[in-house]
Amino acid sequence: MKSSLLIYIRPGLCLLFGLLLAQCKPDAPNQPAAPKEKYLYSDMQLQDEKHLSSVNLPVEMPLIELERQLNAQLSGLIYEDKSYDDFDTDNLKAKVWKMSPIKVQAVDSTFLFEVPIKVWVSVRYETSPLGFKIAGTKETEFALRLRFLSDIGVSPDWQVLTRTSVDSYDWITEPSVRVAGLNIPVKAMVSRMLSRNFEKITSAIDEQVAGTIELKKYVRQAWDLARRPVLMSKEYDTWLVVVPTSAVMTPLVVKNNILRTSIGIRGYTQTVTSVEEPEIRGDSQLPDLMVVEKIPQEFKVGLISVIPYKDATRLAKAKFVGEKFSFSNGKYSVEVTNLEMYGQDEFLIIKAGLKGSLNGVIYLRGIPHYDPETKNLSLKDLDYDLDTRNVLFKTAGWLLQGKFSKMLEKQFVFPVGEQIEEARKNIQQTMQNNTLAKGVVLNGTLAEIKPDRVYLTPENIYAVVFATGQASLKVEGLL
């Protein structure tokens, strides 16, 4: 009969043995629940972030240029009265020519046109001296200097309008007709004829002034150019897109013999990341004009630095994985074995794998922000997630008392200033004497960089700053 050896361990010894084994192993806390991944923005929504801006079109026209163009348009015969109906009424036929160049003066928005004219009249007469009836026609020529006042403005559809009226006139040479030794009162007849027909002359002036100052054509060109995307950085595939929404203009005024106004194209600037040129956005139709007393000068654009999570994770791993941290004068220590990150609303979540006195994963969260002094993306208020904190409180309180989160926060830095500075330089170069089309030059400066905030999307971390300055379009024909 075979014998067998049975070893019997009493229950109390079994419990003691288990406790000894447990003390030989590092702490293995309950795994904290992972914070829920959640995002307030998508990449597309972020690129739809818009910043209200104004692009200004200065308009300057020396009065001498207006004078030159008016004289080119109003030349030769400017009025003729050849209606026999009128002839029967006032016994006059007339032709009016511009005799010498028109002179233009202006104060604020009121113009004074001085128009020297030569007048030819044919006078029909009928008289009976000494009982003999004499009838016929006589011709005479004379000269006048007419003065017209004109208020200038712009209609909602961008047409320049002038409302011209007669101010006064004086005779350079007076008309004279004598028949059978008698003077016919031609001067009074001519005055009445001119008074009835001044409207035709003023209408001709209004028509020519409107044709001389063509605003709509140039504003339309500027509006279309403003909508065209501009490549800011080929390296980062970054485009500046302007979505114009309205157009405003200050009143036309004359100062120092120069007709001046400023046209502002208001709209939203967007910074878009795209390999292909973005589509043109905004209404293609030129909106109605709104006249304002002052146009805001600020041009604002968002400069974006993009860090994909995979790149941020790679940089963080290179810095932290393998790093050892000691606590309680060396009594405890942990080594970082892995790092991952993602977003939860405005927080960046860091999942850290640890081994050593504590094995497992923990979760920390902090608010990413851009520091304009260091031009770095970093974290502030980095701390343990609530569920991680509860687990550590029960199993590894020494980690809560240590400076692990503060050490991570201090070293969790990504340099993004180079991207932002590159974007700023590219915009500045784009705005420096940039000929957008024939006769259209873009100029501007970016004077100040102001941090906005950091945005988290499912794929990327975006650091956004505002670049503010001024931008203007110089359009040939408007200057």
Domain boundaries, the chain: 62-212
Kindly list the distances between the CA atom of residue 283 and the CA atoms of 180, 267, 280, 287, 358, in Å, as whole numbers in the listed order.
75, 11, 9, 9, 61
CA proximity to 320, closest of 367, 362, 368, 374? 362
What is the average per-residue pLDDT within 204-211?
82
> pTM of the entire structure?
0.61
- CATH value of 62-212 in 1.10.150, 3.15.10, 3.10.350, 2.60.40: 3.15.10
Q: Is the pLDDT of residue 15 over 50?
A: no
Q: Which residue has the higher pLDDT, 371 or 134?
A: 371
| More reliable by pLDDT, 323 or 57 | 323
Band of pLDDT at residue 83, cut at 50, 70 and 90? low
Section 334-363 average pLDDT: 95
Assigned token pair, 339? 């790092």
pLDDT at 374: 85
Q: Tell me the pLDDT tens digit for each residue of 242-265.
A: 888 888 999 888 888 888 888 888
* pLDDT given for residue 1 in this prediction: 37
Q: Angle at the Cα of 140 (from 139 to 143), degrees rounded to 5?
A: 150
Mean pLDDT (whole number) for 179-190: 68
Q: What is the mean pLDDT of residues 178-183?
A: 62
Average pLDDT over residues 34-50: 81
Give per-residue pLDDT as tens, 371-401. Answer: 888 888 899 999 999 999 999 988 898 998 7
Residue whose C-alpha is closest to residue 376's, from 315, 425, 328, 285: 315
Q: Of 7 and 117, which is predicted with more confidence?
A: 117
pLDDT: which is higher, 333 or 190: 333
Confidence tier at 89 by pLDDT (50, 70, 90): low
How many C-beta neighbours within 10 Å does residue 464 have?
20
What confidence score (pLDDT) does residue 139 get?
82
